[in-house]
Chains A and B, each alone.
Chain A
Amino acid sequence: MADPMKIRATLQGDTADVRILMRHPMETGTRKTSSGVVPLHFIQSVIVQHNGKTVLDAQWSQAISQNPFLGVRVKGAKSGDKISVTWTDNKGDKRTDEVAVAAGS
């Protein structure tokens, strides 16, 4: 069971500044431990949606750091808009989390 993401979406003017932290091992498939090589295991796809409409479709390799961070900006956003994020890894595990855009400061 994948862990929840931590997503923050803050309004700056009419742009939502979206910052996403995910928990994932992002294994390169070469790391050796006492029990052998840890298999390749990484997030391949991240989709960011604004009120249900895809604004970013990302493809990743195993070179993205463990416990990944993604920062994006969404134009034409309002306070209370929904930002949802879905990642899918090479083993088919996936996770979706959603937040409302918070008013800027």
Chain B
Amino acid sequence: MEKMHSVCLAFSAAAFLAVAPPVMAQGNDLSVGRKMLVEDNPGELWIDQGKDLFYQKRGPKNVSLEQCDFGMGPGKLEGAAARLPRYFADTDRVEDLESRLLTCMTSLQGFERNALIKQAIGRPRTKGSDMEALALFVTSKSNGMKVNVTLSHQKEYDAYKAGEYIFYRRSGQTDFGCVQCHGEPDKRIRLQDLLHMTNKAGAQEVASTWPAYRGAHYIVRTMQWRLNDCVWQMRLPDLKYGTDYSIALTTFLNHRGNDAVMNVPGFKR
């Protein structure tokens, strides 16, 4: 309900723009299109899909995910995703949203981990994967709240520093680390904007807009997919799902993105 309300506010501003004088409609390059797409985001159709999956009794143990602890206590979803990644005592590991979902789907519901991972990244132009819809639903429960990834456990500090190290680590035939594309303001690969992630605002956008609707795939994608696609372009091998590498990078970026207001699904061309 809270989410609906804030969305409605955004809509009234949007409606004003749409009927603004023609001057607005010209000289707009890419920005007008982006704004129009973000305002009415088909990714929202995935929230209810994820909600249904979350409360359904599923898996060999035939239970829902209602007892899953995302860090605020079992079943407490409000604001939980905004604090991820974080350390979990039960697994003795720092986990991001997707690795935590994997943990719950295996331990609570009895799914087989490898089978989940195999299906975690959905095919374009389908309904996407259960993981993608669940990740969006859980994250949507933090909409309107501030990103607040704290470092207090030693493993959280370790993950942050390892993520930073990986962000700058160059290898492979393109000599790329993350920073080669995401270290400066106002850069583009072809026409696609590159977020300036060494800057607070850029990191905030990363931390607050995933999962996102990926226009070219017509489905909702998660941060894990984003990282997969990056390393693919960097000519690195296949990134495994839910590894410490991804979690460390996400810890690094999300912590630096603290205080951003969560707003998912994002819209990525």
Contact yes or no, A67 B42, CB < 8 A: yes
Contact yes or no, B9 A105, CB < 8 A: yes
How many residues on chain A are close to B (CB under 8 Å)? 18
Contact yes or no, B45 A66, CB < 8 A: no
Q: Does B17 contact A (CB under 8 A)?
A: no
A residues less than 8 Å from B193 (CB atoms): none
How would you classify the secondary structure of chain A's contact residues: helix, strand, loop or mixed?
strand
In Å, the complex CA distance between A10 and B16 comes to: 13
B residues less than 8 Å from A75 (CB atoms): none
B residues less than 8 Å from A21 (CB atoms): 40-42, 44-45
Question: Which residues in chain A, 30-61, are within 8 Å of chain B measured between CB atoms?
Answer: none
Q: Does B192 contact A (CB under 8 A)?
A: no
Name which residue of chain B comes closest to A15, CB basis.
B15
**Which residue of B18, B42, B48, B49 has the most chain A CB atoms within 10 A of its CB atom?**
B42
In Å, the complex CA distance between A52 and B45 comes to: 25
Contact yes or no, A69 B42, CB < 8 A: yes
Question: Which residues in chain B, 1-57, are within 8 Å of chain A measured between CB atoms?
Answer: 4-5, 7-9, 11-12, 15, 18, 40-42, 44-45, 48-49
Chain A proximity of B218: nearest CB distance (Å):
5
Q: Does A64 contact B (CB under 8 A)?
A: no
Contact yes or no, B218 A8, CB < 8 A: no
In Å, the complex CA distance between A25 and B45 comes to: 13
Name which residue of chain A comes closest to B40, CB basis.
A69
Contact yes or no, B40 A19, CB < 8 A: yes
In Å, the complex CA distance between A69 and B8 comes to: 16
Knowing A12-B15, A17-B15 are in contact, say whether A105-B8 is a contact too (CB < 8 A).
yes
A residues less than 8 Å from B11 (CB atoms): 8, 10, 17, 19
**Which residue of B4, B8, B12, B218 has the most chain A CB atoms within 10 A of its CB atom?**
B8
Contact yes or no, A8 B8, CB < 8 A: yes
In Å, the complex CA distance between A79 and B218 comes to: 33
In Å, the complex CA distance between A25 and B28 comes to: 29
Knowing A10-B12, A105-B8 are in contact, say whether A23-B125 is a contact too (CB < 8 A).
no
Other A-B pairs, 10, CB within 8 Å; known A10-B11, A10-B12: A3-B45, A17-B15, A19-B11, A19-B40, A23-B45, A66-B218, A69-B42, A104-B12, A105-B8, A105-B9
Interface residues of B (CB under 8 A from A): 4-5, 7-9, 11-12, 15, 18, 40-42, 44-45, 48-49, 125, 218
A-B contact list, 23 entries, CB within 8 Å: A3-B45, A3-B49, A4-B48, A6-B45, A6-B48, A8-B4, A12-B12, A19-B11, A21-B40, A21-B44, A21-B45, A23-B42, A23-B45, A66-B125, A66-B218, A67-B42, A69-B42, A71-B18, A71-B40, A102-B8, A105-B5, A105-B9, A105-B12
Kindly list the 5 A-B residue pairs having the minimum CB-CB distance in the complex, ordered from nearest.
A67-B42, A66-B218, A69-B40, A17-B15, A23-B45
